[in-house]
Chains A and B, each alone.
Chain A
Amino acid sequence: MSHGRDTSPKPYGVVAEFETPEQLLEATKAARQAGYRDMDAYSPIPVHGVCEAMEHKDERLGWIVFAHGVLGFLVGYGLQIWTSNNFTLPFDWAGEWGLNGYAHNVGGKPLMSIPAFFPPAYELTILFAAFSAGLGMFALNKLPKPHHPVMNAACMIRASQDRFILCIEATDPRYDEAKVEEFLKTLNPLSTERVMTSEGY
């Protein structure tokens, strides 16, 4: 490939395959204790404690959702207050584009009907917050990503079924393929494998 960068397969890491979540948790703790830092675990169910053992912490999602909830609420009230009153933008084109308010007397109700504007604002709060939770989660996880180097490991096909996999990645400062594999073998895995990135990836 001639993208100006080297895309030949390179070592990605070493994986070890385990049978139970308990073994995976123990292995992760041991790997951390042995000084490895760049690693990830792959499992069919969330194994609580693994992230803590890897000292991975990311609490951005909660803040993202909170911010979007507030934004949804403000958009909801802002939209209704703007469009239900006599507000106009100081541009000629604003009227043509239909951006000005539409003050309209409905049964003598006030133009600024704050309580009546609550339900749509409430729904928009939830809409914005929920979509930021769902889409934000995928974005922070960098998904969709149809291919990932770790999928080159033979055991990964069962990571979504009944295998619990620990991968120590090549980016780790202490990474030495042979030593890592030797270390992982001491943890009684079902198998270990050296993983390469894909050609052209």
Chain B
Amino acid sequence: MSTNPTPVDQALLEGDYTNEKLDKAIGDIVLVQSTHNSPPIKAGPLKTSPWQIMFGIGFLGVNLLLVAVTYLVIEGIGIWGNNQPVGWGLDIVNFVWWIGIGHAGTLISAVLLLLRQRWRNSINRFAEAMTIFAVMCAGIYPLLHTGRPWVAYWLMPYPNILNMWPQFRSPLVWDVFAVTTYMNVSILFWFVGLVPDLATLRDRAKNKFAQIAYGAASLGWRGSAKHWARYEHASLMLAGLSTPLVLSVHTIVSFDFAMGIVPGWNVTIFPPYFVAGAVFAGFAMVITLAIPLRKWYKLEGLITMKHFDWMAKVMLATGLIVAYGYCMEVFYAWYSGIPFERALLHNRISLADAPYSWSFWALILFNVAIPMFLWSPKVRRNLAALFFISFSISIGMWFERFVIIPISLTRDFLPSSYGFYTPTFWDWAMFAGTMGLFLFLMFLFVRFLPLINIFEMKELLHQVEHDHGHSEGKGTDEDQKEAAVLR
């Protein structure tokens, strides 16, 4: 497809891998159930494993979510803290937070594919899974926020006896289109990527049930050269389509705010800084998940320190864009000269007489100050530090949405209608519940599907071997021509 002469970084694959060993290292996580019982953890008389613990936590979270949703449907959204003047509370904060987290998956799988970044190969699969699960968690909030989720299909345009259609001039309707498209295209892209790996699992599986299940899911993929040609063509086009899609989704989410006249929302910096923030949050979540998974499933040779170093750099770069966004918001509030915008700025930063200003400073601490440690290569290659910083960014990005939504809404134009917002138990239960759902789905995925793209790792292995041959001076001109073809 291309003749890219840049050699592949040898540090992307550590250890002595062969195709067979790659199949074993990745495929057997799924095919051999006992992988999930290790490393064993002893808690008194109980013998357990990280997979069991994480899955258990996720399962409890799902139950909490079911209880929260059931009570919500029975009682109405009055059980949340949303009330005049704060119509958007934690539900929308969490919606934006989750959807932002999803963005890294698409960025890794689509944008880095177009940029021919080989380091995406070992992280794209579970990052894409993370995208899908995060968008699922996100989608729950606006559906329930409508108050009558059982008529959520009204959001879609369809001919009906009321003779009504959606109001297409509203960013909220744009959001419906953006998020549903994003969800569907992400699942499609993920599935297309999975098919050759499912065929590998089908052929390696020893038990009948696994053979049938993976056989059906792989659609009878047989690795035909003619199929591969169309497959690569389709992957490239899907990547090319997902790139403008991922940029548009958070842009449109930011329009939900930027199209409004609420102080602090009506800012043109919103679309780019929301997109950068989404990538920032998403990479933080990828790192948070990759560090333990890599250790538990012994993937150190496949997800190397080089990967973490580069992911940290992307995080640092997007973090700086986000920090620039915060500066521009402050500048805009001051420079506009609009009294309401200036009052909002006061409400954000004045610790003395604004009740929610602490959240703004928490945001600056978690999202701007702590990530600055990423400038140091030592920190970027220290997994404990990286885990801590990524976690801090996840919290910081949550605060960002909290700062944007309740702070602006509690005090808008008329002091007589100032109010306050206190999330209730059910707000937090929903949030914890969606985190549980995310963990639950993530660990089901780890159990049943290969968490690293097997065939792309084989391609990478092949290239690394080739380049290695050249660096030792073994390569002839003929070899080089061939290597170019194979790439």
Contacts and interface: CB of A to CB of B under 8 A. Distances in A.
Most buried by B among A21, A130, A159: A130
A42 B229 CA distance: 12
Nearest to A158: B203
Nearest to A102: B165
Interface stretch (B71-79, B167-175, B329-337, B362-370): B167-175
Contacts of A117: 168-169
Interface string B176-217: 011001001100110110001001101110000000000110
A148 B223 CA distance: 12
Contact of A48 (B157, B177, B486): B486
B188 A46 contact: no
B206 to A, nearest CB: 12
A41 interface: yes
Contacts of A54: 225-226
A92 interface: no
B252 A130 contact: no
Nearest to A84: B168
Contacts of A138: 219
A119 B177 contact: yes
B318 interface: no
Contact of B184 (A45, A65, A127): A127
Most buried by A among B158, B159, B162, B223: B223
A127 B248 CA distance: 13
A156 B245 CA distance: 38
A145 B219 contact: yes
Given A51-B225, A143-B221, A160-B196, A130 B23 contact: no
A23 to B, nearest CB: 11
Most buried by A among B19, B221, B237: B237
Contacts of A71: none
Contacts of B166: 83
Contacts of B167: 104, 106
Interface stretch (A5-13, A55-63, A173-181, A186-194): A55-63
A134 interface: yes
Contacts of A21: 462, 486
Contacts of A79: 157
B27 to A, nearest CB: 9
B223 A102 contact: no
Most buried by A among B163, B222, B225, B245: B225
A162 B18 contact: yes
B163 A102 contact: yes
Contacts of B227: 141, 143
Interface residues of B, number: 72
A61 B230 contact: yes
Interface string B276-292: 00000000000000000
B222 A46 contact: no
B234 interface: yes
A160 B482 CA distance: 22
B163 A137 contact: no
Nearest to B457: A45
A25 B241 contact: no
Contact of B169 (A65, A95, A109): A109
A130 B238 CA distance: 6
A102 B4 CA distance: 54
B16 interface: no
Contacts of B173: 120
Interface in A80-103: 80, 83-84, 95-102
B352 interface: no
Interface string A32-76: 000000001111111111110010101001100100000000000
A94 B397 CA distance: 49
A145 B241 contact: no
B43 interface: no
Interface string A106-140: 10010001001101101110110111011011101
Nearest to A50: B225
B82 to A, nearest CB: 24
> Interface size bucket, A side?
35 or more
Nearest to B158: A98
Contacts of B163: 95, 98, 100, 102
Contacts of A145: 219-220
B20 A116 contact: no
B46 interface: no
B487 to A, nearest CB: 7
Contacts of B486: 21-22, 25, 47-49
Given A46-B232, A98-B159, A130-B238, A151 B191 contact: no
A2 interface: no
B230 A141 contact: yes
B151 interface: no
Contacts of B1: 48
Contacts of A151: 222
Contacts of A150: 222
Contact of A44 (B191, B226, B248, B455): B455
A41 B168 contact: no
B60 to A, nearest CB: 36
A102 B165 CA distance: 6
Contacts of B196: 44, 160
Contacts of B228: 43, 46-47, 51
Contacts of B470: none
Interface string B41-64: 000000000000000000000000
Interface of A: 21-22, 25, 28, 40-51, 54, 56, 58, 61-62, 65, 79-80, 83-84, 95-102, 104, 106, 109, 113, 116-117, 119-120, 122-124, 126-127, 129-131, 133-134, 136-138, 140-141, 143-148, 150-151, 156-162
22 contacts: A43-B228, A46-B231, A46-B232, A51-B225, A58-B229, A84-B168, A102-B165, A106-B169, A116-B168, A119-B255, A123-B174, A123-B178, A127-B181, A134-B188, A143-B221, A144-B220, A145-B219, A145-B220, A146-B219, A147-B220, A161-B23, A161-B203
